[in-house]
Structure 1
Amino acid sequence: MGNSVSNLCKKDGMFFTATEELDSYYPIRTECQDDVPKTRFKARVGKTLSPRRWNAAFTDDGHLDMAGVLRRIQRGGIHPTIKGAVWEFLLGCYDPNSTYDERNEVREQRRKQYVAWKELCQKMLPTFGTGKFITTPIITDDGRPVEDPSGNSVALPNYGALDQREINWMLGLPQIGLDVVRTDRTLVYYETEANRAKLWDVLAIYSWVDKDIGYVQGMNDICSPMVILFEEEADAFWCFERAMRRLRENFRSTTSYMGVQSQLGTLAQIIKAIDPKLHQHLEELDGGEYLFAIRMLMVLFRREFSFVDAMYLWEVMWAMEYNPNIYASYEESRDATSSTTDQADVKPSQLKQYGKFQRKNLKSGWTDERSALAIFLVAGVLEKKNKRLLKEAQGLDDVVQILSEITGNLDAKKALKQALKVHKKYLKAKKS
């Protein structure tokens, strides 16, 4: 049973079928096959961004037709063989208007910076970067080495007392290690300690670089796909760093506040506007703060979808949210959390450079930076479960139970369509 040429896409002598199975790119451990959500996404010729289409989108000197790329991603995602390269543009690592030479220069500078940070971490912790990672405490709260039951302690350089930043960093390393061990454990990729150590190194360096927030549980779920997609560790780090520009405020927390509460508040406003009856019911169940949606927003539905489907969801969301000023805004400010543009500054001819979701926001004049598409995805899920929530939910435990049933049963493409419908409905409600 062969495939007709019309159902095949060729790149460098390789073909992929119109409905190619993609799990083979990210193999699942045999004993875990029945424990993971089923993958629904398939690469489709004519819809999915293929290697051939991707290469054709560049001019001879390297300028990228981002509008064409966005259209294709929004229709059918990205083929696995080019995911990493495309994500770098979607997340603002590179400017589509740059040349090959300019991007190579930026990449080289970033790799050198990553090496410098890694060498600094190695000075503080000699075992850093050796393919090993830590899961148990190595220092006390006041910076003294911790001895294990055998009387041994981790060898730390004797260059004087540690400052508070160094102490805080070292205190957080075991938690990163514990989370790494739990990350995507169903994937064959993480069977090797070297690959787990790669993830640990990237997260540990990010923890050092982000002095304000550092590492927080959940970041491992965001970082893991990037570590897998990029062979070069430094490139994985920078892709993750750019992703965190969008997400890091969700991870900011104090004893009385979690950053994600800002998005939860926006979610509450959306549901109140489009489905006041459901919002009132949730409030009566003491669920008006929508805390049951924290996980979905913090790790972008990683637990609700298969590994492949989660990546498809992310890349389509990022394409729909794309702002052509993202690279410039990130370069201008280390602390930028999103790219902004005054609606008045955008000419009609420029709108095609924006993603579908961002374009609708600009046309409506609505520029609330907290309103990521992920919030409307959650709102879409709640809308779909409206009848059951109203009829069956007698307490928050019931709400959690009903929502937990979406794991493995949610189609990412349909969920995105529903999110856009909710977005349109909300913008209409805001106008009235």
Structure 2
Amino acid sequence: MAKNHVPDWLNNSLWSSRSPPPQQSLTPAKTSIDSEDMNRSTNSAVKSSVSAESSVNMPVPMLPPAVIRAEPRPVPPPSPKVEIIGPLNSSSSNCRSDGENGSSASSTATSGISSTENISRQAQLSQELSRKIINLGEVRRLASQGIPDGPGIRAIVWKLLLGYLPTEKALWPTELAKKRPQYKQFKEELLMNPSEIARRLEKSASLENDGTGTDIEGKGVLSRSKVTQEEHPLSLGKSSIWNQFFQDTEIIEQIDRDVKRTHPDLHFFSGDTPSAKSNQDALRIILIIFAKLNPGIRYVQGMNEILAPLFYVFRNDPNEEDPAMAEADTFFCFVELLSGFRDNFCQQLDNSVVGIRSTITRLSQLLKEHDEELWRHLEVTTNVNPQFYAFRWITLLLTQEFNFPDSLLIWDTLLSDPEGPQETLLRICCAMLIIVRRRLLAGDFTSNLKLLQNYPSSNISHLLYVADKLRVKSAG
């Protein structure tokens, strides 16, 4: 029998945690988004949640900014650098160990190919990927359970799931030969400064007028009489290439700051080595090109965190040619991935049925549907507004809540869902709450908020199982 309107399977000790530790003062949550960006929610929700006697500095709920803020976000204290050799090499991760859900230092799901089940799944995926026409449904099914760290398997599967590669294997060379040069053209056209644009325009005009192919008068530099208003550096016109350049400079500076703070614990992204700098530069260029091609969104803080797993997986592909083209492949897959979440980054849609507030509300409703007791304790009894923790979970696709290898396993499930990643993401977020329900039910506002803003290490296999269970319960 279920007690307190909670299903029997939720009362199982497997999903419960140990007793909560002694309460401590609330510390700032780890985040990749400026505190200023959190001001898009109302302050009234915060004031109603904290009593006058509370010593907690309540964080304002975060909502995505429309433009880049000039104020830099807080830089977390440096942590020991760790080199991840393989995506599932959990021994190299700096996991927390608090005994949550029976797991110790890290999830058993991140132990690499150490079980018969993982070896079998790797063999099945390799077999599917060797077919002339790939059964995408079967690939989704296998990938949803986590992709073993086989040679190049995750890179190929992710490209298939994101629609970058077609299911007909014979078409792969043709598609790649079309997409990769297209990205190269983006770089050549969109990364030019106005002086270079003006020089090329002038050269083109001189070739048309002269007919000999020789630029006689200007030698690549516009004469003063030929500089138009739109091409003058002091022009304030909206169509001025210089005015657009100065606006882009602000975004590029923000991208630079964020890229330098991407996964500071991984040598792959952080450090003074040539490889780390090259990887940072690739992230930077991808984000700049994306911002220029998508003026409605441009760049929003946190996009670098979503980009990093894609580039890491593609850059570490053992296939001979693919790692060298990882930047181009990552760009197109990043565009496809973000297309399913772009409404969460658009401030104009915050209060719409597709904006971030609506998405967070859906998470709250999902929790109420599956565990009303926990929902009531969090949102009614202790006044823990889901915006206080769920904004980062949703907008950064859980990249900041788990160690890097575990986040790759979670992404396997996100990308493999035929319904799209957003619905799966909400179920996983709901499962995260259910898994620590015992500690949450025993906690007050301060301890619960601290727990959810610094989510404990968990067994990823159990987490994904609970999330899938929520799908079954909803369908039923």
Is TM more than 0.5 here? yes
* Residue correspondence of structure 1 range 144-223 to structure 2 within 5 A: 161-162=240-241, 166-190=245-269, 191=271, 192-223=276-307
CA shift, 1:253, in A, is 1.7
* Residue correspondence of structure 1 range 321-360 to structure 2 within 5 A: 321-322=417-418
CA distance in 2, matches of 1:126, 1:81: 45
Give a deviation string over 1:352-409, Cα, whole Å, max 9, x none.
xxxxxxxxxxxxxxxxxx961111111112122223323322x2x43221224533x1
Corresponding residue for residue 387 of structure 1: 438
**Alignment coverage as a number of residue pairs:** 324
Q: 2:265 aligns to what SS in structure 1?
A: coil
Is 1:317 the counterpart of 2:411? The answer is: no
Structure 1 pair 292–274 and aligned structure 2 pair: CA distance change class (3 A): same
Structure 1 pair 59–306 and aligned structure 2 pair: CA distance change class (3 A): closer
Give a deviation string over 1:252-290, Cα, whole Å, max 9, x none.
224965932222111111122222233233333443454
TM-score of the two chains, using structure 1 as the length reference = 0.66
Q: 1:253 aligns with which of 323, 347, 351?
A: 347
CA distance in 2, matches of 1:225, 1:86: 14
* Aligned partner letter, 2:261: R
Indicate if the aligned counterparts of 2:194 and 2:241 stay in contact, CA closer than 8 A: no
Structure 1 pair 34–292 and aligned structure 2 pair: CA distance change class (3 A): closer
Farther-moved stretch of structure 1 (198-207 vs 38-47): 38-47
Indicate if the aligned counterparts of 1:304 and 1:410 stay in contact, CA closer than 8 A: no
* Aligned partner letter, 1:197: D
Is 1:414 the counterpart of 2:440? The answer is: no
CA distance in 2, matches of 1:212, 1:269: 30
Query: Identity over the aligned pairs, expressed in percent?
Result: 22
CA shift, 1:84, in A, is 1.3
Give 5+ residue unaligned stretches, structure 1. Answer: 1-21, 128-156, 324-337, 339-369
* Aligned partner letter, 2:341: L
CA shift, 1:202, in A, is 1.0
Farther-moved stretch of structure 1 (254-263 vs 280-289): 254-263
Q: 1:123 aligns to what SS in structure 2?
A: coil
CA distance in 2, matches of 1:387, 1:235: 43
CA distance in 2, matches of 1:169, 1:213: 13
RMSD: 3.3
Corresponding residue for residue 86 of structure 2: 25
CA distance in 1, matches of 2:87, 2:422: 31
* Residue correspondence of structure 1 range 224-263 to structure 2 within 5 A: 224-230=308-314, 231=323, 232=325, 233-254=327-348, 257=351, 259-263=355-359
Structure 1 pair 75–289 and aligned structure 2 pair: CA distance change class (3 A): closer
CA distance in 2, matches of 1:126, 1:193: 27
CA shift, 1:292, in A, is 1.6
Q: 2:141 aligns to what SS in structure 1?
A: helix
Corresponding residue for residue 424 of structure 2: 373
Corresponding residue for residue 143 of structure 1: none
CA distance in 2, matches of 1:107, 1:119: 18
Is 1:106 the counterpart of 2:155? The answer is: no
Corresponding residue for residue 142 of structure 1: none
Flag the structure with larger Rg: 2
Corresponding residue for residue 57 of structure 2: none
Corresponding residue for residue 392 of structure 2: 295
Corresponding residue for residue 138 of structure 2: 68
| Moved >6 Å (runs of 4+) | 157-160
Give 5+ residue unaligned stretches, structure 2. Answer: 1-82, 98-104, 197-230, 315-322
Corresponding residue for residue 403 of structure 2: 306
CA distance in 1, matches of 2:279, 2:194: 19
Indicate if the aligned counterparts of 1:268 and 1:288 stay in contact, CA closer than 8 A: no
